[in-house]
Amino acid sequence: MAALNYPSDLKYAKSDEWVRVEGDIATLGISDYAQDALNDLTYVEYAVEPGAKVAAGDAVAEVESVKASSEIYSPIAGEILAVNEALKGEEDTINADPYGKGWLVKLRLSDASGLAELMDAAAYQTYCESR
Amino acid sequence: MGYIPHTDVERRQMLAAIGVTTIEDLFEAVPATHRFPRLKLPAPLSEVEVAREMLALAESNEHAQDFALFRGAGAYHHFIPSAVNHLLLRGEFYTAYTPYQPEFSQGTLQATFEYQSMMCALTGMDAANASHYDGATSLAEAVTVALQVTKGKRNKIILSPGIHPHYREVVRTYHQGRDVQIVGDDAPAQAAALADLLDDKTAMLAVQYPNFFGQIEDLAGLAEKVHRAGAVLVVVANPLALGMLKSPGSLGADIVVGDAQPVGVPLSFGGPYVGFFACKQEFVRKIAGRIVGESVDTDGRRAYVMTLRPREQDIKREKASSNICTNQGLMALGVSMYLALMGKTGLRQVAELNYHKAHYAADRIAALPGYQVNRERPFFNEFLVRCPQPVATLNQALVAEGIIGGYDVGQDYPHLAQHMLLCVTEMNPKEEIDVLVDVLGKVK
Amino acid sequence: MTLRMTMPEQVATPEPLEPLIYELSVPGRVGVNLPVCDVPAAPLPADLLRDDLKLPEVSELQVVRHYLKLSQLNHAIDKGFYPLGSCTMKYNPKLNEDMARLPGFAALHPLHDTEGAQGALALMYELQRWLGEISGFEAVSLAPAAGAQGEFAGILMIRRYHLDRGDTQRTKILVPNSAHGTNPATVTMAGFEVVELPSDERGDVDMNALKQVCREQGSSIAGMMITVPSTLGLFEEHILDVIETVHNAGGLMYMDGANMNALMGIVKPGELGFDVMHYNLHKTFSTPHGGGGPGSGPVGVNAKLKPFLPGPVVDILEEASEPDESPLYGFVMPSKSIGRLKAFQGNFGMHVRAYAYIRIYGDSGIRDVSRHAVLNANYVRARLMDTYKIPYPRYCGHEFVIEARLDGAESIHALDISKRLMDYGIHPPTNYFPLIVPEALLIEPTETETKETLDEFIDVMKKIAVEARQTPELLHTAPHHAPVKRLDEVRAAKQLVLCCAPALPGAAD
């Protein structure tokens, strides 16, 4: 089994989402740990559409594998700019490239304070390895 | 004794392996104050005695093998080819569990896939599940789907009063803990008038086809109105009637549910029956219950497996839309066997036999003084008769002549007191119908 | 690590094990002998008729061979050992099948007049009484169609009980984290919120957590659902304390009776203080599982909840006038009933089978069922203890869980052991449940298995443990001797072929 990746430029939530912040734009996806635990992903459904406002902790999507299902929460507040439609039918992209082409939603940050709650890569790795 | 195979010697060997002296030692965690209570049950009986006692109980019932049966109202006496029962008694089918291990359950899985296919064919839908408990719970589950599809923004459910009264009660039982408004039952029975209740809070409208009174409602145009209002059209259908009638799918239904009891399942005093649930492709991820899909094994051989599993309670737990676990597997299997035997022409033939015989009976009863047959709409194998006497009185006279008469509709619809719902099937030869008519004509 | 395997291009696709019934179809073939129409034909309503019906066209013999072949692709209790935990795969007596098919039962209309259905009603009345006696409950309703529906009925009754007292604040139901998925799903379905409770190191409910929740949120707790013995096969050691704690907070206690096969004549849940439970007739009372159903899930309640039972229930309408006569039985709706759960009155065919089963065992035999179910489980447990990790060091009920992680065979998962068992003709135990045990295998032998069968299973399990260390690949690629190999479940979920093409409207005949 290949070692799991924890890119250092990202922030991580306890519920296994990652966030990449560029200016006031945040991209969100699920971590390598999460895709590995879920195994082959077969379905993604978005709970939000572009333009929707979300609060920190709101569900934005649901991902499914053969024998598991997981809700994806936005750890930060903002306005949804885009959802990754390219994943429909190509859900294995999340398994192959969770931090790149496997992103789920992009949002415009309305309140950056939520970011402070998130873990850095080292803390998240420690957290994952203790589970 | 019973079905326990242990000998004294074996029990001693097993207890020694465990390291205890008596079986009772294994129950130390059970509070001593409540351990090993006395059971006030009857004494054990031999197989001979049990069979004798139960035969006596069975024979004290007035059943369709001894009586001419003209009662339907949601449960129907139809011909079931002998092959169905013989095949259902294969222990490999009925003593198997849910096919969670596909390598060891291809029989059940493929049969279920074929059942789903047949249900799609009958209803004109894209997908079907492996079944629900019965037609009523299928309808209740359709409500859940409609609420989900409309994302919780709509909570009004319109039910036609022409839906079986038990089905409507079950919908209310199922949704009593939720914020749902169930309306329409008190409106006129015609489907068209129900459409006036549609609004932007309506999640679903449901009608029965043929309805509880046997009438074939005019669904044409209804779907368009329901869809324009942004709601889901659910049709509760009789699968035997679908042997001849246009499929609800071709008339615009989004979800078709019902009980498949008429196509291969015995009356059995009300159960087990089998609720079918079929829908358009777009709803398939929202529906409850087991679903079998086609795939291949690692050799590339075509094989079947339960799929879309993350919808189910064992995975989604408190987030699942339904707690359903079992389907009516064995009944669904019997239904597929029945439909395979009947086939395309046989099912049509049985449906038409029902139609012709019911119409013959209706015509003859209509000619009796004091009886009025409701002909507002075309009917299938049931029809509503206004009688000159209370239905109970008529049924008493009929039983004395070896006939089980129609259902007393006034029990559920007060404005239809003294109305009998009669059902005539391929099991009623002409002579039986003639005797029914004669007796009805003679009751004073 | 992926289950998806691509086929080497040069290998021809193997033939399906059995064609689909649609693939056997030949236009014009008929499989049934129907009566001719003996009445004048009525004009058909042309505008209402369909012009297509995509059903297969096959002969009776083709149908018989098709389903016989399909049956042979299944594993079943009648074929071999089936130690599937939490499912109680005991022998399904053949007498029961004959009884359910007696015309007096099988051809009885559900809406038949009371007077003409006295035999069926008497049977249901007695079964209600016997089930109540076995579990120590005041009243029983046979209405629920399956265990999950019994759970739903139970939680709805708890809801109505509180509302009836004018207490509208109770919105939560406690559920241990070892519970069957149906429990939390039921809670949501009934409109409640789930509060999950942790388990302690002995596999019991964590009493400190329970007491804390009841202290802090007591007035919002409607009740608790708990399985006894637990899904780990363990009898809750503090059960009386659990019940008292929840009762003191004003909540009611629901017992999931899925594991009743360990308790008959051992302890009565009603006497322990439970307010309501469901029975699984298809587990404890030998009615067949049918490849996924039908089930039957009667509910038993104490006096408090009796008025809320789902209906109809059978009661005595008129007492017998003479001692040797029968009373008049009939259906009644309990005064504050939660309502109907299905059309008509429960899965009667299952009631008939359960009646026959209880009648065979009687007062002296029913306890033996549970005694031997527990004996068998403990025997297998004791003999596998040296080979496999068994997480809870105490006697089990009718089933036990092993943690399928073997030292020196790190690549082996519970699933691999399961699939390898098939090669020896044994159905795998329940996999990955309960969720709180990693790599769980839940083993339930049931009382109807002989010592020889158990010994053979034990030998096979030991042999597999050796194979796991010596030839792990043998397990990874198992089963080798089942009708098919492991399935591509990803493809099934992504391509979604849910019915065969010939059945689709518009497809060619």
CATH at C319: 3.40.640.10
In angstroms, the CA C234 to CA C253 distance is 18
Q: Does C261 lie in the same domain as C156? A: yes
Q: What is the mean pLDDT of residues A71-83?
A: 94
CA–CA distances in Å: residue B261 to residues B133, B135, C496: 11, 9, 28
CB pairs under 8 A between A and C: 21
Contact (CB, 8 A) for B272 and C294 = yes
| Helix (H) / strand (E) containing C16 | none
Which chains border A (3 or more CB–CB pairs < 8 Å)? Answer: B, C
How do residues B199-249 score in pLDDT, each as one tens digit? 999 999 999 999 999 999 888 889 999 999 999 999 999 999 999 999 999
Chain C residues whose CB is inside 8 A of the A37 CB are none
In a domain, C153, yes or no: yes
State how many domains chain C has.
2
How many other CB atoms are found less than 10 A from the CB of residue C201?
8
Nearest C-alpha of chain B: how many angstroms from C247?
Answer: 18
Q: Does C377 lie in the same domain as C247? A: no
Q: Which residues of chain C have pLDDT under 50?
A: 1-5, 7, 503-509
Tell me how many degrees the CA angle B416-B418-B424 measures, rounded to the nearest 5: 90
How do residues B102-137 score in pLDDT, each as one tens digit? 999 999 999 999 999 999 999 999 999 999 999 999
Q: Which of A42, A69, A94 to mutate to test the interface with C (most CBs of C within 10 A)?
A: A42
In a domain, C493, yes or no: no
Chain B residue with minimum CA distance to C507: B121
Chain A residue with minimum CA distance to B320: A69
Q: According to the 3-state scheme, what is the secondary structure of chain B?
A: CCCCCCCHHHHHHHHHHHCCCCHHHHHCCCCHHHCCCCCCCCCCCCHHHHHHHHHHHHHCCCCCCCCEECCCCCCCCCCCCHHHHHHHCCHHHHCCCCCCCHHHEHHHHHHHHHHHHHHHHHHCCCEECCCECCHHHHHHHHHHHHHHHCCCCCCEEEECCCCCHHHHHHHHHHCCCCCCEEECCCCCCCHHHHHHHCCCCEEEEEEEECCCCCECCCCCCHHHHHHHCCCEEEEEECCCHHHCECCCHHHCCCEEEEECCCCCCCCHHHCCCCEEEEECHHHHHHCCCCCEEEEEECCCCEEEEECCHHHCHHHHHHHCCCCCCCCCHHHHHHHHHHHHHHHHHHHHHHHHHHHHHHHHHHHHHHCCCCCEECCCCCECCEEEEECCCCHHHHHHHHHHCCEECCEEHHHCCHHHCCEEEEECCCCCCHHHHHHHHHHHHHCC
In a domain, A56, yes or no: yes
Q: What's the confidence (pLDDT) of residue C501?
A: 67
Chain C residues whose CB is inside 8 A of the B110 CB are 18, 20, 70, 73
In a domain, C432, yes or no: yes
Q: Which of A36, A40, A45 to mutate to test the interface with C (most CBs of C within 10 A)?
A: A40
In a domain, A2, yes or no: no
In a domain, A1, yes or no: no
Q: Does C431 lie in the same domain as C295? A: no
Q: What's the confidence (pLDDT) of residue C505?
A: 43
Helix, strand, or coil (residue A106): strand
Range of the domain at A111: 11-129
Q: According to the 3-state scheme, what is the secondary structure of C163-192?
A: HHCCCCCCCEEEEECCCCCHHHHHHHHCCC
Delimiting residues of CATH 3.90.1150.10 domain(s) in chain B: 68-80+343-442
Which chains border B (3 or more CB–CB pairs < 8 Å)? Answer: A, C
Chain B residues whose CB is inside 8 A of the A64 CB are 310
How do residues C372-409 score in pLDDT, each as one tens digit? 999 999 999 999 999 999 999 999 999 999 999 999 99
Q: Does C216 lie in the same domain as C145? A: yes
In a domain, C490, yes or no: no
Among candidate residues C64, C62, C57, the one with its CA nearest the CA of residue C30: C57
| Cβ-defined contact of C1 to A39 (cutoff 8 Å) | yes
What percentage of chain C's residues is helix, strand, coil (to nearest 5)?
Answer: 40, 15, 50
| Cβ-defined contact of B310 to A71 (cutoff 8 Å) | no
Q: What's the confidence (pLDDT) of residue B378?
A: 96
Q: Which A-chain residues 41-80 have CB contacts (< 8 A) with chain C?
A: 42-43, 64, 66-67
Helix, strand, or coil (residue C20): coil
Nearest C-alpha of chain A: how many angstroms from C474?
Answer: 19
- C36: tokens are 């001719």
CATH number of the domain bearing residue A110:
2.40.50.100
Strand partners, A45: A62
In angstroms, the CA C172 to CA C22 distance is 50
Q: Does C390 lie in the same domain as C299? A: no
Q: Does C350 lie in the same domain as C313? A: yes
Q: Does C450 lie in the same domain as C436? A: yes
In angstroms, the CA B431 to CA A86 distance is 68
Tell me how many degrees the CA angle C129-C131-C134 measures, rounded to the nearest 5: 110
In a domain, C333, yes or no: yes
Chain A within 8 Å of B316 (Cβ-Cβ)? yes
In angstroms, the CA C454 to CA C378 distance is 11
Alpha-helical runs (H) found in A25-120: 32-38, 92-96
Chain A within 8 Å of C494 (Cβ-Cβ)? yes
Nearest C-alpha of chain C: how many angstroms from B32?
Answer: 9
- Report which DSSP code applies to C87: T
**CATH of span B68-80+343-442:** 3.90.1150.10
Q: Which B-chain residues 283-302 have CB contacts (< 8 A) with chain A?
A: 285
Chain A within 8 Å of C3 (Cβ-Cβ)? yes
CA–CA distances in Å: residue A35 to residues B307, C435, C482: 20, 19, 31
Mean pLDDT by 10 residues, chain B (444 residues): 95 98 97 96 97 98 97 98 98 96 97 98 96 98 95 92 97 95 78 86 97 92 95 98 97 97 98 97 93 96 94 87 91 98 97 98 98 96 98 96 97 95 98 98 88
Q: Does C399 lie in the same domain as C305? A: no
In angstroms, the CA C302 to CA C304 distance is 5
Helix, strand, or coil (residue C468): helix
In a domain, A5, yes or no: no
| Helix (H) / strand (E) containing C357 | helix C348-384
Q: What's the confidence (pLDDT) of residue C4?
A: 47
**CATH of span B83-337:** 3.40.640.10
Angle between helices B165-174 and B135-149 in degrees, nearest 10: 50
Q: Residue A97: CB partners within 8 Å, gap ≥ 6?
A: none
- B341: tokens are 């035997």
| Cβ-defined contact of B71 to C112 (cutoff 8 Å) | yes
ipTM of predicted assembly, 2 dp: 0.97
What phi, psi does A52 have (nearest 5°)?
-70, 145
- C246: tokens are 């929840």
Chain A residues whose CB is inside 8 A of the B285 CB are 43, 45
How do residues A43-58 score in pLDDT, each as one tens digit? 999 999 999 999 999 9
Q: What is the dihedral of CA C398, C403, C407, C410, to 10 degrees?
A: 140
| Cβ-defined contact of A42 to C490 (cutoff 8 Å) | yes
CB pairs under 8 A between B and C: 719
Nearest C-alpha of chain C: how many angstroms from A42?
Answer: 6
Q: Does C385 lie in the same domain as C320? A: no
State how many domains chain A has.
1
Nearest C-alpha of chain B: how many angstroms from C487?
Answer: 4
State the average pLDDT for chain C: 94
Contact (CB, 8 A) for B205 and B226 = yes
Range of the domain at C381: 364-483
- Report which DSSP code applies to C237: T
In a domain, A32, yes or no: yes
Delimiting residues of CATH 3.40.640.10 domain(s) in chain B: 83-337
Q: Which B-chain residues 37-66 have CB contacts (< 8 A) with chain C?
A: 37, 39-45, 47, 50-51, 53-66
In angstroms, the CA C347 to CA C141 distance is 12
How many other CB atoms are found less than 10 A from the CB of residue B127?
24
Handedness of CA A54, B312, C377, C385 (dihedral sign): negative
What phi, psi does C324 have (nearest 5°)?
-95, 5
In angstroms, the CA B246 to CA C52 distance is 9
Contact (CB, 8 A) for B324 and B277 = no
Q: Does C435 lie in the same domain as C413? A: yes
Q: What's the confidence (pLDDT) of residue C436?
A: 87
Nearest C-alpha of chain B: how many angstroms from C421?
Answer: 11
